[in-house]
Chain A
Amino acid sequence: MQPDLERELIRKCKTGDARFYEPLVRAYEPAGLRLAMAMMGNVEDARDALQDAFVKTYESLHRFDLRRPFGPWFFQILRNQCRDHLRSRKARFQRETIDERLELRPADSEAGPERSHQRAAAKDSLWQGLAEIGEEHREIIVLKELQGFRYAEIAQILEIPEGTVASRLYHARHALKEALLALGVSYP
């Protein structure tokens, strides 16, 4: 979404007109669901957290500074919402069969069934690896690898100094590598 359009929609929402919130919800829903899904581990909890995050965001719009980008601010709220859900509902990262709930689309599906099967198995292991590592490691990996945020944005979302992002990423990636090794996945 264009930043100018986004700002205009937020300005309208701040006046209390919820109709202008719909394009924002629809624009951020796929990325939000991806982040929540990776943090919560299953679609139902992810959708609950996402829905609550959108409501909380709307209720907090009066505090939003229009000079700042909306995305990192929203993802910060969503991340906190996911953490609250994990704590309050005692929901643990529950991994479900991905292809039952989500369509997993490997980028190399044209490379033959055997190759596709290998890639699908590797990705399933990656998913298991994410379940094994702690919440703090998981969230920073998801923000970087699945969402592709820059360090400055990650720092804003996680409410940490930008200088510590690289260090936390290293420990998270290292933890994931160890978890994958324990699952029998070997990297070069």
Chain B
Amino acid sequence: MQRVSHDDLMRFLDGEMPPDEHAVLEAQIEASSELKRELAIFRAMRTDFQELSFQPGSHRRSVWDQVNATVTRPMGWILVITGTIAWMAYGAYVFMTSPGDPWEKLATAAIVIGILTLLASVIWERYREWGSDPYKDVHR
């Protein structure tokens, strides 16, 4: 009699075998107490698995809200950043081309550039700290 491989035993158990092969293997299993026992163990384990019916508790909310917030957020950021850049560029153009004292314009531009530089450095520092923060995955 041909030896039954582990793979065939699994395909038999899981119904992944063509009917003709299934019938041949069934006869071989019937003739072997060792195979019958092994199959019985795997079937019993399967029964226990099938009775494990997970039902998330009713208090559990769907993940949809968080998923939705994450997938729609990039579009919001793109719009905000694009709009801000457009307004700033237009504002700078209007300011620079308007009649007035050049020293006044230069002083104002220095203040604005200074504020933007400071803001950028703070954001960069925060970003670097966040990258190495060992507690960033800890939720409240």
Contact = CB atoms under 8 A, between A and B. Distances in A.
Interface residues of A, number: 50
Given A26-B62, A187-B41, A58 B71 contact: yes
B48 A123 contact: yes
A128 interface: no
Interface size class of B (residues with CB under 8 A): 35 or more
Interface stretch (B10-18, B92-100, B118-126): B10-18
Contacts of B46: 145
Contact of B42 (A16, A108, A150, A173): A173
Given A101-B57, A166-B8, 17 more contacts: A22-B68, A43-B60, A44-B139, A50-B63, A55-B71, A103-B55, A104-B53, A105-B55, A123-B48, A126-B52, A167-B10, A169-B14, A170-B10, A176-B45, A177-B41, A187-B45, A188-B40
**Ranked 4 nearest A-B pairs via Cβ:** A145-B49, A166-B7, A166-B10, A170-B6
Interface of B: 6-11, 14, 16, 37, 40-42, 44-46, 48-57, 60, 62-64, 66-68, 70-72, 75, 137, 139
12 contacts: A22-B68, A25-B64, A29-B62, A47-B63, A59-B71, A107-B50, A126-B49, A145-B46, A151-B14, A167-B6, A180-B45, A187-B44
